[in-house]
Structure 1
């Protein structure tokens, strides 16, 4: 069975601190569940740190401080890890430090709740729960969507995503995840903009589907 991990491009962006804060939350969750990938990121960060020591000082961007503070909140620390802020202690540690919104009904067997992690523009973090045998509407995206499986499993075509797996999607991706596990599938996702439903029926219901 193929394990779906983050692309090298995104791992490099995460290690360099160049990833948006919502995406970094999902990647941190993925890495907490995949220690082998986390070890590689730590090595990249160590190499990057040594390279920075050899560079001459340069002026900082106007938004640099805000980005650093948001990333510090994502990366967290031991004090935060010891005090969960939500009602789901079964979540991986990177998610336990954020408050959660109320569950919202999104359709038969599908519900969603907000993760009150740092936002960046229209990009935010959500939890999505889909019951066994159910599937999402066929859709594409207004921007990037990173999804990490927390429990259960879903499939897209012949690709299966199990616990710890991560799916990368964007405007060019048209898919319809369906739950293939006997238990509900719980995922965390960084979603930039809204999903865009496919077909005339999708366009009809689009105004009622808000994630």
Structure 2
């Protein structure tokens, strides 16, 4: 793997450690942290600080039904994915394999060789795998909210630079870009958004409802 040069900002690591991120973003961060020694150390530091704060807090009795409900939330499908799972299947880190339930992605064609596999979608946003052939571009767009894109295979380039395996691009309403998959292996990315993309061209806008992007 090439050296990772685009990392998760500290404030997002802190939010992940606190458990306050929506599930789509939490999955991207968990997958990145499983690949990145630097961000894994940063996350451990935030967790240590949070643990120290909890130890200093005064304790109070918790009713049995409240405790049961809390444990159910922690064990349920909305719990943040575990970032330290080292096992991989092909290019997919442990947290992604967990979202795939151990199966291969079920790709759906989007045209021009591009494919996607939606892993989760709801009110909090969506997270999907994208497969982009070498040299193929994602249409020029900006964003209605926040987008995190983690590269799992190959690389892509846009106005912000080049992003290789393990790198994360963070885009928001201020960013307008046209990502293009570099030559070599097809680019496979894990992308999370909390609002629809804003395409500049007419055809992509017409297809948005179909592809749920």
Q: Which of 21, 24, 28 does residue 23 from structure 2 map onto?
A: 21
Partner of 1:56: 58
What does residue 38 of structure 1 align with?
Answer: 40
Instruction: Kindly indicate whether the alpha-carbon contact (under 8 Å) linking 2:26 and 2:80 is maintained by their aligned counterparts in 1.
Output: no
| TM-score normalised by length of structure 1 | 0.81
Give the aligned CA root-mean-square deviation in angstroms.
3.0
Measure the CA separation in 2 of the matches of 1:200 and 1:115: 27
Question: Quick one: structure 1 residues 173 and 53, their matched pair in 2 at CA, closer, same or farther if it must change by over 3 Å?
Answer: same
Structure 2: where are the runs of 5+ without partners? Answer: none
Quick one: which of 10, 24, 27 aligns to 1:8? 10
Partner of 1:113: 117
CA displacement at 1:210 relative to structure 2 = 2.8
Partners of 2:182 and 2:71 in 1: CA distance: 43
Measure the CA separation in 1 of the matches of 2:160 and 2:56: 47
Deviation readout 1:16-67 (Å, 9 max, x if unpaired): 211112211110100111112101211210111011111235899xx96675
Measure how far apart 1:90 and its partner are: 3.5
Q: What are the Cα deviations for residues 154-199 of structure 1, in whole angstroms up to 9, with x where unaligned?
A: 0112511011000112233221110113110000111223222114
TM-score (norm 2): 0.80
**Mapping for residues 119-198 of structure 1, pairs under 5 Å:** 121-198=123-200
Give, in whole Å, the separation in 2 of the partners of 1:90 and 1:163.
9
Q: Residue in 2 aligned with 1:75?
A: 82
Q: CA deviation at 1:123?
A: 1.2
Q: Distance in 2 between matches of 1:111 and 1:124?
A: 16
Verify the 8 A CA contact 1:25 1:74 in the aligned structure 2.
Answer: yes
Q: CA deviation at 1:202?
A: 4.4
Is contact 1:196-1:206 (8 Å) kept? no
Provide the secondary structure at the position in 1 that maps to 2:99.
Answer: coil
Q: 2:106 aligns with which of 80, 99, 102?
A: 102
**How many residues are treated as equivalent by the alignment?**
201
**Is contact 1:152-1:162 (8 Å) kept?**
yes
Gaps of 5+ in 1: none
